[in-house]
Structures are given as structure tokens and as C-alpha cells.
Structure 1
Amino acid sequence: MHGNELLGGIPPQVSVLINLTYLKLSINRLSGKIPQEIGKLMKLEVLHLFSNELCGSIPDEIGQLHLLNELALYSNQLHGSLPSSLGNLSNLARLYIYNNSFSGFIPPEMGNLTNLKEIYMHINFLTGPIPPTFGKLMKLTQLHIFDNEITGSIPPQLGNLKLLRRLSLFDNNLTGSITSILGNLTDLVVLFLRNNQFSGQWPKEGFSNTSLSVIALTSNKFEGPLPLPSRSTLPECLTNGNARLLVLNLRMNGLSGTIPGRFLLQSSLRTLDLSQNQFEGTLPRTLVNCKNLEVLDFSNNKIEDNFPTWLGALPELKVLILRSNKFKGRLDFPRAAHLFPKLCILDLSDNNFAGLLPANLIAKLQGMMNGQNGPELQDKSLYMRHTSGIMTYYDSVDVIIKGKEIRLSHILTILTTFDLSLNSFEGKIPNVIGHLHFLIGLNLSHNHLVGSIPPTLRNLTNLEWLDLSSNKLSGSIPRELGDLTFLEYLNLSENQLTGCIPQDKQLSTFTSDSFNGNLGLYGTPLQNACHDDAQSPPPPSSFFQEDSTKEYASWCDIKAVGIGYACGIVIGISIAYIIWETGRPKWLARKVRRMEARGAKWMKKPKRKAIKFHGGQ
């Protein structure tokens, strides 16, 4: 009877159905407690009560269902501790109790369930350590305990789980070092340990015998060299016949030393995130072997190198983040080279680059000219993601948006940004920048740029934020910027601009903050009035001509401008809804996931402490 609109509670009289083997009441609107009489259904093999509004705890009597093979109680409002009687379900193969409010310790008696293949108990309030008795679950292939309050270290007994393929322990309070025993998990494909308190160095023995495809260690306290350092183990780990590494995410740790190039030998690698560590030296040239690489993030390290032009040969690269390092030199590109064909997010900010803005580079950025919906770059997905089997990994990145650094837990495939701020670029802004028609964000601030603002910027019709502040730009503000109807953030402050601020179309929507620090600039919204020689607004006759055709055309122009303003606001709200920032509370993130899992049915839960929220699954 699953997938209906059944209301009310589960009647205790169900206990008279003593020959029942399957009971599926999932995806309804059932409420109340699970009746203890359900323990009388001694022949029950499958019990599905998920996606309802059930509350209370799991009755102890459920441990009497010795033939039970599947127990699915996820996405309800169940709470309380897990009963130790669960350890009596000797035939249980699949346990799904995630997305509830269970609390307390995981009962060690669950180690008696030697037929268990899958455990899903994530998104709860479980505390205490992972029971060492889990080491007896020799048939286990899936273990998901993430998004709880689990403490302690990973018990070495988990190294006995030879069939384990996915281990997800992220978003907990786990501590200690990573035991080398995990290297015995020969079938391991996915290892998620991010957002914990793990420390120390990666075991030298590594994971050379595993089949890892995704490693996510973000936001821990690892230190020392890159945690895959051994020449003897690493090539086997990442290039053996079973391994097919798709994602390597080591963001926000204390990793140091140089980036060893020998582990970049797999063409299967699609995401490499080593941001917010202490890496030094230069970028390894072996990156050119990663022909499927789409996301490359080395931001917030101490890498000292010239711009790696050779990365332009990567045919699938869409995101390149080199922000906040010690890159230097000029950005010189050969005219004939075909480079960065799909690049949509390029962030070189806060480095030591100098010289003229790279017009030859800008002219090659086909992904920013044609967008992801072009005939050669068509991508039907809303977000950048990788799927392997039943696991989907969503790429995430830090982006400077409208003057603020924001963590995008999911990267929209339509997001196209270009950031060269906080460098030492000089000279004029090249007109070719107007060819990047799909740009949503452009930041050239805090450089030494001179000359006027090119009117070709009017061609960037998708632009939502433009920052040219803290340069030496001169001349008047081109009226053409008023044609950018989606523009929500404009910063032209701290330059040498002169003349009256145009009040055309979108330009009339910005405050004085957008124009401060230009001594020769005057007019609304600045306090000083326009000079007599300033250009006056167009007369009414330019809007309403006597000729009816012209009048209709002009009216359409005005209407289009109004629609542009409204669309700009709507799109801004939409992006604000989609962007999940770093400081997002864990309880809110949990509610969103529950809403998605249960068809937009919000669940009432107490607030939890605010923690960092990162994308990745």
C-alpha cells in the first residue's frame, strides 16, 4: 500500500496477520508511533515504513522479527535511542534508518548482524564512537554514518570489512589519525571523511590495494606532505587495473611540501581540489596527462610559478582556480594556439601577475563566448557533477561574487566568471573582452589599468556583476553600460573617471558606493550636482515620436528596459537561493536534504549548532 495518501496511525490489529511476509506502507502520511504489536509478525521478511510522519522510538519488540531481511524506516520523525534488540535480527541484510532524529550511542549488539550488507544511518543525532563490533560485519558493502555527532577514532576493526565499497563518515566529530588498516579494504571505491577533526599524516602504506574512485578529506587537520606520498605505493594505488580515480578533494587541511606529479598519471581524474593548504613549489607538468580534468582548484596555497599555459591543452577543463598564491610574470599566449576550449570559470586573482591584460588569452576562451549551451559544449545538467554507479559527486568552489567570497556547494553549469583582480596588470582594457558574451561576473579591480572603459562591454548582456575599482581608469562612464539589464553589482570606485554619471537605464539603479573615489565624477547618486556642460537627459520627444511606428518601437524599448530590471532582480533572488554559503547552519542543510528526499515535506527539528556546509554529494 505504498505511495498513497494514507492517514492516521498503524493499527495494532496488524499483529493478527501472523503469516505476513511483506509489509510496505511507505510514502504515505502515516503518523503516530510504530505499534509494539508489530513484533508478533514472526514471518515478516520486509518491513518498509519510510517517508511517512511516524514519531516515537523503535519498539524493542522489533527484535523478535528473526526472519527480517530489510528494515526501512528512513525519512520519518522517529527519535530516541536505537534499541539493542536490533542485534537479534540475525537475517537482516539492509538497514535504512537515516533522516530521522535518533540519538544516543550506536548499540554494539549490531555487530551480531553478520548478514548485513548495507547500513544507512546518516542524518541523525547519533553520538559516541563507532562500535568496534562492526568489524564482524564481513558481508558489509555500504556503511553510511555521516551527518551525526559521532566521536572517537576509526576503529581498526573496520579493516576486516573486505567487501566494503563505500565508507561515508563525513560531517561528524571524529578524531585521531587515519589507520593504515583501511588500506586492507580492497574493494573500497568511495571514501568520504571530510568535515571531521582527523589529524596527523596519511599512512605511508597508503591505499595501494584499494579501488578508490573518490577521496574527500576536506576540512580536517591533516598536515605534512600530500597524503599519498609513497613512490612504491602511489603508482599502484592510482594506476592499477582496478583504480579509476575520479575525484581527489583534500581541501582545507594543513598539507605542505610540493605537489608530487607522479600521482597525476590517471586520465580518469575529473576533479582535483587541493585548495587552502600550504603547498609550495611549482605545478607538476604531469597534469597534462589528466585529459578528462574538468575542475582544478589550487587556491590559497604558496605555489610560486609562471602561469601554466600548458594547462590550456586540457580539452575538458571548465574551472581553473589559482587565486591567492605567488604566481608571477606576464600572461603571454601564442596567437595560433587553441587553448582552454571549455573554460568557464577562471580565477587568477591575488597573485603577482604583471604586464598587459592578456588579449590573446581572452580571444581563446570559447566557453565564455559560446556558453555551455553551444553546439560543441552542450550540457543538460543544472550543476557540474560526476556520477559513478549510484554515487553522484557535485563539484564545489569558492567564488568572489559581488565583492564577497561565497562557497558554492553546487556549481551551476551556466556560471561563467573571469577574475584577474589583485594583481599588477597595466595598460588598457582590451576591446576583445566584449566577445565574452556569456560572462556573468567580471572582476579586474585592484590593478594599474589606464584608459577609458571600453564601450564594447555593452555586449556582455548576461553580466550580473562588474568590478573595475581601484585602477587608474579615466574618461567618462560610457552610457552603453546602461544596456546591461541584468547588472546588479557595479563598482567603478577609486579611479580617475570624470564627467556626469549617466542616468540611462540600468545605470540609474546604483548607489554612490559604485562611484566613490573619482574626484572628477559628479551627478546623481553623488552629492555634487552636474555641471552646466553635462549632457542633459534626452527630451520626451525621443521617447514618444509623432510617427506611430517609432512610438511603438520606443515604447517597446522602455518596456524591455523595465523587464530587464525585473529580471535582474528575479535572477538575483534565484542565484541567492541556489548559492549555499560557507556559514550555512547544519540544521538548515539537513532540512533541505530532507525536503528533497521527501517531496518538499518540511520536518520540524530543533536548531543545531552552526557549522560549515560544503558540497560534495
Structure 2
Amino acid sequence: MGWHRILCLLCFHFCLLSSIRFALPSCPPDQRDALLHFKNSFVLDSKSYPKMNSWYKGMDCCSWDGVACDGATGNVIGLDLTCSWLHGTLHSNSSLFLLRHLQNLNLYGNDFSGSHILSNLSAFTTLTHLNLSGSSFSGSIPSEISRLSKLVSLDLSYNYFFNLLENSIFTMLVQNLTTLRKLALDEVDMSMVSPKSFANLSSSLTYLSVGHCSLGGIFPDAIFRLPSLTTLYLFVNHNLSGILPKSNWTSPLESLSLWSTSFSGEIPDSIGNMKNLTILDLENCKFMDTFPRQCGISTNSKFCNITNLMLMNLSNNRLQGPLPCSLVKCVNLSTLVLSHNEFSDIFPHWLKASKLYILNLQSNKFHGRINLTAFGLSFPALENLFISNNNFIGQWPTEFFSNTSLSIIDLSNNKFGGPIPLPSPFTYYYSIASNNITGKIPSLICNATFLGIIDLSNNNLTGSLPWCLTNFSTNLLVLNLRMNQLEGTIPQYFSSRSGLMTLDLSQNRFEGTLPQLLVKCRYLEVLDLSHNQIEDTFPRWLGKLPELKVLVLRSNNLKDLLDIPRGAHLFPKLHILDLSNNSFSGSLPANLIMNLKGMMNDENMQDTSLYMTRSFGSGTYENSVAVMMKGLEYELVRILTFLTIIDLSCNSFQGNIPKVIEHLHFLVGLNLSHNHLTGSIPSTLGNLTNLEWLDLSSNKFSGLIPRKLGDLASLGYLNLSKNQLTGRIPQDKQLSTFSSDSFSGNPSLCGTPLPKVCLGDAQPPPPSSLLTFNRKRHERWLKQKIVWIGYALGI
């Protein structure tokens, strides 16, 4: 009986709810039609899930995805089309503006390229939330937005195409939107906005983000004291300066990001009042502070009360002294980045941060041995360890990292010694470069199959390479073993599944031939085998690698550079070709040069990154290479993506410079010195308008220096010395700026800057000298004439 009664009550409750639900008013037909018309004015991306797929005329629009209606009237009050991937233009006569009851409009993550933020928005007098971010709007922000006096949240960030936000419009916006709680204008050009205008922001503001806005001037510190502000992002406004409040700073701030601004001064003790702070990002500012040596509450209490802090980034400032002991109070820290400062301390075992995930101490003055027992106990959750560019000493037990979960280990540029400590099975990035590591590379390293980047360069490693090292993981992108004492042959096996992008074995003692299975490494971009003892012919088979950009084989025993067949389509993306100091002979390879499409046009120069880098987690790996530039050897610690170089110097090439070289329009450096090249210097070299250095020295070039070389406005280094050039050095344009060293060793060359004067350039002597000379010559002629007359008369 009881169950029957309960069942009846449940049925009654369900019927009541159903009747209430069905009694809700439906969407007015005119608003439904306006939404359908709005839908039909755009192209929907079929690859995404467009919310508008559920919009049909026969249905109540209040049931459509992204549409919210008033429960009493049925009017459309909310439109959320977040990430609907709409493509098209939002016009001023759009049916969207017929929805006069809108309170919430969110168009984030669409593509309205070419559309302006329209003044019609002022028609939405009841609007409280407006989000037009990330939707490719362009043009200026209209003043009419300041009329939306009920706005609680305004987000116009990341549209990339906004013109200037005038100071007057921003001032109106700040003054009129008195109920605003969230304001996001990231990537809006606010270079004309006075930071003083921010002082008038609503006291109810909880969120302010104006990153990448080109703001300049002094930011008012009153903003830091707003009573409700929990999030303040001012990042990447390089000319925006200010100081943090030194006293009376109590605030509910939870996130503070000032990275890449010009904020300066000390990090005040008052920051310790920010008990709610979870994110503190002061990277790349101008803070200068010296932390005291003592560890007492009264002397070193900056961070004592910030127990909720999860991320602290103080990198790239001028902070000195030991680490503040008050950091031990930050028990919730997951990320601690203190790199590129002047901290001087031992390794901070005392932190005991059980939740620490990232620890970055690189480029400071940390020193001493690392207490390995305390290390394991203090950081059980650590996954990213950056301690490079310090003065740590000692050695790591071989198996130390094997039992950790470290995915990034960067110990480079210290003074660690001993054998190689094996990485963890979970390690992706592993660098012990530039230490005093000795011994052989253990084959056990191949058990770390998750490794993507291995850098063991610049140590004292000996022995041969484990054969597994070139084929143990499909994850491996970078293998850098340069500047060691490794010997033997390069392993011959490379898998077709290899993802290898950088292989640097330079400056070792490898011998034998080049491994032809390298051709299976389809993603290989950088190959540097220079300064070894490899004996082989030119590996033209490497030209089949579609991504190869840097090929450096200098200082080996390579010979027989047989030119490739016409139309072979090899080396399509090569930017740097260095075959110098080998035993190549014969003519310069014209067909090979014709294949260097990456130096001929900008089709392969569209890489948006400036340097050839590899990103991983919270860091990057930068490729490096040694090249001859302007007569000197340089270590390029970062390779510019647009740097294009050909170096065939110190070989035995003969004959003329092939005419096809004129097509390498993007060539920056050309070195053909120390060969046996003959003929004249082709004037077509003057077509290489991006050329910055040209070295043709120590050859047998003859004839005149082409005047067209003077048209190379970018040419900063020229060496034509030790040839058989003749005639006058052209004196106009760029050629007149070089010293005599550029032309010395050409006996038949004359003119400035050489001391040898060209024939016809001699100046007539001064009149007095000429008169004296003529008088003496006349006297000699007269005496001689008298003698002749005497002979004739028989005297």
C-alpha cells in the first residue's frame, strides 16, 4: 500500500513538471526567423560541430543549441555560438540586430574576417555579457559600445586586426560601464591610451586583461588595490612601467602577470599580503632586488603568507642573493621558474615542495654539490628539471634518474663529472651538454624509448656509438653528440619509421663511409658530420630527403663530387651547404646548384619561426652549427630559418663559376676561396641582392672586377685577394668601402684602396718643378747642340 502511494505521488510530480514545462512560452516567430536568416548568411564549417545544425523552422528556437530564452516571455535573451566556426561577414543590416532583448552575446571563435565591430551593438540596451574575442574582427572599436551601460563582461581580445583604440573612446568606456566586472582587450592596439585612464575603472572589476596592447607610460598602482580584483594581466607591454605597492596592499588578487613589461624596483614585502595569490608571473621585467642571507621571519618574509601560490615565475630580472627562505611556506607550488637572474646559493633541497612539477634554476650562480638523497625526498612529483648554466659540481650515480618520473632533464653547462647518468624511462628531453662527463655511451640508454631529444655534446665521451642509438625509438627527433672523442664508424642502420630531424656528430673521430640508410630519415632537417675522418664520395643520395635544410660535411676526406643529372629534383629545401676542406676536384657542380630551390625563391622561406628550434613541454631546443662567415668561423647557437650559405672553399675545384649561380637570389653567404678556379668573375653575381659576404680569394681569377658587384648594397665582406685580377678597382657604390685586404695579392690590380696607381691617374707636377725640369732639359739640349756645332766646324 505504501509503495502504491509513493508511486502515485511520483506520477503526480512528473505530470506537474511536464505541465509547467509545456506551459513555457515558445520563441516568437519573428525572432525565430531572424535567427534562421542569421544562420543562412554564413558558411558552416563541416569539420566542426556547428550549433546551428539544430536550427530548423519547424522547431521552437528556445530548444536550439546556443539559444537561451526568457522563461516568462519566450524572448531570445542569450546567443552562445562559441567555436561554431562561422565563416562570413557580419553586416550592419544583419538580422542579429533584430534580437533586441539579448542579454548575453558570445561569438568567440568564429571567422568574421573583414567584419567591423558595428555601432549597431548599442541597440542591445539590456546586454550584460558581450564576447567578440578570437573572431577576426577588424577596424576600430566603436564608441557606441560605451553606451551598453549594463555590461558586466566585455571581451574583445585576440582579433589581431583592430586599429587604434583611441584614448577618448577608452575613457568613455571606463566612465560609462560602471557595473563592469570583466574587461579583456588583449591584442587591441592601445598605444594611444593613457594608463591614467585605468584609474577610473569600476571598483567592482574582478578581471582585467590587456596583454599585447602596446601600452606605454606609468601604470597607476591604484589598480592593484581594487577591492574586488582577482585577475590582473598586463603582459607583453614592453613600454609599460610601474612599481608594485610597498605598503597597505591588501587585495583578493589570485593571478598577477606582468611578464615582458618594464615594471621595476624591488619585489616588496607587501606581496606577502596576497593570501589568495595562486599565480605570480613577473618574468622578463626590470625588478632589482637582493635577498638577505638570514632566514628569519623579520628579514626574509616576502612569501610567508602566500601559501596558495601554485606558479611563481621571476625569471629574466636582476634578483640577487640566496633564494628567499620564505619559499618553504609555499607548500602548493607546482611551478617555480627563477632562471636568468643572479641568485647565488646551493641547490634548494630545503624547499620540500611535494607538489612541484617544474623547477627552473638555469642561468644563475648556483653552486656546489647536489644532495641526491634530499633531492629525491624533496621533489617526489618533479617532472621538469632545468639547472643548466650554473656552477654545480659532482657526479650523478648512473641509475639515479632511472627511478624518477622526470620527463625533462637539463643539466647542461655545469661542471658535472663522472659517467653518463641514465635518463628515466619517461624522459623526453635529456641534455648533459658542456660538462666533464667521461666514459662510453652505455647501450642501456636505448631503454629510454620515450626520448625525443638527446644532447651529450661537448664532453669527454670516448669509444664507439652503441648500434642501437640510431634506431631505438621512433620518438627521437634530435641526437647531438658533437665535440667529444667518439670514434669508430657511424651505425649503418636507420629505420624508415625514424622521426629524426637533427643529427649532429661533428668534431669527433668517426671514420669509414656515410651510412646510406640515412636516406630513410624522411624528416631529417639538420645533418652535421663535420670535422671527422669520413672517407667517401659526395652523398648525392641525401638529396632525396625532402626536408633537409642544413648539410655540413666540412673537414673530412670526401672526394668525387659528381654532378647530379639535370632535372633530378634533389635538395629542394637546402639552405646551408658546407663541403669545405675536403678533397673535391673538377668543375663546380652546376646541376646541383640549379636544384637548390630553397635558395632561389621565397617559397621555402615562409616558416613563421625565426630560428630552427624544437619545442618540448615548457622549453625549446635550438639547433646550432659552425660556419665560416666573413672570413671567421662563427658558432651559430641558433640557426636562422632564412640563412642561406654555400661554402665550397679549401678544395681543388677548377674552371669557371657556373652562370646558374645567379639564380640563387636568397643566398646570403658564398665562399669559393682556396680552390683553382679560373676565368673572369661573372658580373651576374651582382644579381645576388641578398649577399652579405663573398669570398673568392686564393684562386686564379683573371680580368676586371665587375662593376656590378658594387650594386650589392648588403655586401659587408668581400675578399678577392690572391688572384690574377687586372685593371682598375671600381670606385663607385659599395666597392669603395672595402679595405686593401680585399684586393691584395693581385699584382695587376690598381686604384684605391691599393697603393698602386693606375696608368693615366698620375697628377702633373707643380708648376715650379715643371719649370725647373724644363730649364734643365733645355740647358742639356743647348750644350749638346754646341758640341754638335763644334764638331761640324772642326773645333
TM-score range, shorter chain: 0.7 to 0.9
Task: Map 1:248-287; keep pairs closer than 5 Å.
Answer: 248-263=479-494, 265-287=496-518
| Cα offset, 1:130, TM superposition | 2.4
**Shift in alpha-carbon separation, 1:92–1:435, aligned structure 2, 3 A:** closer
In structure 2, distance between residues paired with 1:44 and 1:515? 66
**Shift in alpha-carbon separation, 1:41–1:378, aligned structure 2, 3 A:** closer
**Shift in alpha-carbon separation, 1:68–1:200, aligned structure 2, 3 A:** same
In structure 2, distance between residues paired with 1:268 and 1:21? 45
**Shift in alpha-carbon separation, 1:146–1:509, aligned structure 2, 3 A:** same
In structure 1, distance between residues paired with 2:288 and 2:676? 63
**Shift in alpha-carbon separation, 1:431–1:102, aligned structure 2, 3 A:** same
2:265 maps to which residue?
31
**Shift in alpha-carbon separation, 1:433–1:104, aligned structure 2, 3 A:** same
Match of 1:149 among 391, 416, 440: 391
**Shift in alpha-carbon separation, 1:255–1:263, aligned structure 2, 3 A:** farther
In structure 1, distance between residues paired with 2:588 and 2:279? 65
Aligned residues of 1:320 and 1:345 also touching (Cα < 8 A): yes
1:601 maps to which residue?
none
Aligned residues of 2:581 and 2:649 also touching (Cα < 8 A): yes
Task: Map 1:6-405; keep pairs closer than 5 Å.
Answer: 7=242, 10-11=245-246, 13-14=248-249, 22=254, 24=256, 26-27=258-259, 29=263, 31-32=265-266, 34-35=268-269, 51=285, 53-57=287-291, 60-61=300-301, 62=303, 68-82=309-323, 86-87=327-328, 89-110=330-351, 112-132=352-372, 133-136=374-377, 137-155=379-397, 158-159=400-401, 162-180=404-422, 182=423, 185-226=424-465, 229-231=466-468, 235=471, 237-239=472-474, 244-263=475-494, 265-370=496-601, 373-374=602-603, 378-405=606-633
Q: CA RMSD in A?
A: 2.9
Aligned residues of 1:135 and 1:160 also touching (Cα < 8 A): no
Aligned residues of 2:429 and 2:451 also touching (Cα < 8 A): yes
In structure 2, distance between residues paired with 1:505 and 1:45? 61
In structure 1, distance between residues paired with 2:447 and 2:418? 21
Aligned residues of 1:143 and 1:167 also touching (Cα < 8 A): yes
Question: In structure 1, what residue type is equivalent to 2:701?
Answer: L
Question: In structure 1, what residue type is equivalent to 2:341?
Answer: N
Please, which moves more after superposition, 26-35 or 215-224?
26-35
Counterpart check, 1:409 vs 2:637 = yes
In structure 1, distance between residues paired with 2:383 and 2:527? 31
Name the SS of the counterpart of 1:195 in structure 2: coil
1:519 maps to which residue?
747
Name the SS of the counterpart of 1:164 in structure 2: coil
In structure 2, distance between residues paired with 1:326 and 1:102? 48
Deviations 1:197-246 (A, max 9, x none): 212111231142341111122222212213xx044x764x323xxxx122
Question: In structure 2, what residue type is equivalent to 1:503?
Answer: Q
| Cα offset, 1:487, TM superposition | 2.2
Match of 1:462 among 690, 703, 712: 690
Aligned residues of 2:605 and 2:641 also touching (Cα < 8 A): no
In structure 1, distance between residues paired with 2:541 and 2:675? 25
> Which protein is bigger by CA-based radius of gyration?
2
Aligned residues of 2:400 and 2:421 also touching (Cα < 8 A): no
Please, which moves more after superposition, 142-151 or 202-211?
202-211
Deviations 1:87-140 (A, max 9, x none): 565443222333322112123323x32222121222221111223122232311
Aligned residues of 2:331 and 2:353 also touching (Cα < 8 A): yes
**Shift in alpha-carbon separation, 1:264–1:87, aligned structure 2, 3 A:** farther
Deviations 1:290-333 (A, max 9, x none): 11111111111111110001001111111111111111123332
Aligned residues of 1:10 and 1:30 also touching (Cα < 8 A): no
Q: Give the unaligned 5+ runs of structure 1.
A: 535-617
In structure 2, distance between residues paired with 1:326 and 1:76? 48
Q: Give the unaligned 5+ runs of structure 2.
A: 1-223, 225-231, 235-239, 293-298, 763-795
In structure 2, distance between residues paired with 1:493 and 1:46? 61
In structure 1, distance between residues paired with 2:275 and 2:712? 69
Identity across matched positions, percent: 49
Name the SS of the counterpart of 2:447 in structure 1: coil
**Shift in alpha-carbon separation, 1:497–1:264, aligned structure 2, 3 A:** farther
Question: In structure 1, what residue type is equivalent to 2:690?
Answer: N
In structure 2, distance between residues paired with 1:114 and 1:467? 59
In structure 2, distance between residues paired with 1:384 and 1:38? 39
Aligned residues of 2:720 and 2:742 also touching (Cα < 8 A): yes
Deviations 1:487-527 (A, max 9, x none): 22221111122222233433333222122112222233222
Aligned residues of 1:476 and 1:498 also touching (Cα < 8 A): yes
2:661 maps to which residue?
433
Question: In structure 2, what residue type is equivalent to 1:530?
Answer: C
1:492 maps to which residue?
720
Aligned residues of 1:83 and 1:107 also touching (Cα < 8 A): no
In structure 2, distance between residues paired with 1:468 and 1:517? 12
| Cα offset, 1:380, TM superposition | 2.7
Aligned residues of 2:427 and 2:448 also touching (Cα < 8 A): no
2:161 maps to which residue?
none
Please, which moves more after superposition, 160-169 or 486-495?
160-169
Question: Larger RCO: Structure 1 or Structure 2 (Cα < 8 Å, ≥ 6 residues apart)?
Answer: 1
Please, which moves more after superposition, 482-491 or 334-343?
482-491
